[in-house]
Amino acid sequence: MNDPVIWVRLGGVLQLGVLIASILVPKVLRWHRELASLHVMLRRLIWVYGVFIVFTITALGVICVTFAETIVTGSGLGRAIAIFVAGFWGMRLLVQLFVFDMLPLLDHPILKLGYHGLTIVFTYLFVVFTIVALAT
């Protein structure tokens, strides 16, 4: 399995899988209750940000699954996509490790497993797309 096209396609599938966690965020983080005290504009802003993040992750996943060969060819566009994906998930990994303190909210073993699973996925995406970006 030393084929970067497979790595990139798997990365695309994993990005689409991250959307499952995204769907659970409002419930797990109790948005209905926690955001109730915010001004309506701030509540809407959080939802809009969430929708844009879901849209971005969906697009990245579809692009990586559909155009994996292009991403690994070394073309300018392929390299740009690999750099963007590596940067996106690298920053998300840093946020996961150093900004978010999710542990108090992980009150169920499934939530803990999901959290650590996402950390592994973010690491995979960062590493694979960094390798692809540097190799092209």
CB 64 within 8 A of CB 108: no
Query: pTM here?
Result: 0.91
Tokens of 4: 């970067």
Residue 74: what pLDDT? Answer: 82
Between these two residues, 111 and 118, which has the higher pLDDT value? Answer: 118
What confidence tier does 136 reach under pLDDT thresholds 50, 70, 90? low
Residue 2: what pLDDT? Answer: 83
Residue 58 clears pLDDT 90, i.e. is over it = yes
Angle at 129 between CA 124 and CA 134, to 5 degrees: 130
